[in-house]
Copies of this chain bind each other. A is one copy, B any other.
Amino acid sequence: MRKKQSTNYVNEQFLFQVCELNSAIAMINGRWKSQIVYSISQGNNRFHLIQQELPNISETVLARQLKELETHAILIKKEIPNTVPVGIEYVLTNKGLDLVPILESLCDWGKLYADGKRISAHSIS
């Protein structure tokens, strides 16, 4: 549980009102979150499919990350009809779908500079 009186919480709120950038980042922060969003966008839209792709994640942790993504309306849970026990499908909202290309550009950026090469700097002054 967040402590609303903590400096940590107050600073987070401060950044949220400085720029939406910070709330956006807060939504994709979290050990597994953006990888999960990406996996779902690739069609791995079931709990056990995500587990197969990310064998190191525990059930508890996966469930928690999914719930947080749901809280931020990046995805919704959908019951698959006529299944027993009822199957759950994870569906990206339009908000979640719009995030995917941004994650892709982050990925490209990461790849481009991965080896520590291609770095340079020159002051603008």
Mark A residues whose CB is within 8 Å of B: 8, 10-12, 14-15, 18-25, 27-29, 31-32, 34-35, 38, 54, 56-57, 73, 75-76, 78, 89, 91-96, 98-99, 102-107, 109-114, 116, 118-125
Contacts and interface: CB of A to CB of B under 8 A. Distances in A.
A61 to B, nearest CB: 9
B76 A121 contact: yes
A53 to B, nearest CB: 8
A34 B20 contact: no
A24 B107 contact: yes
A73 B31 CA distance: 22
A8 B94 CA distance: 31
Contacts of A125: 89
A94 B106 contact: no
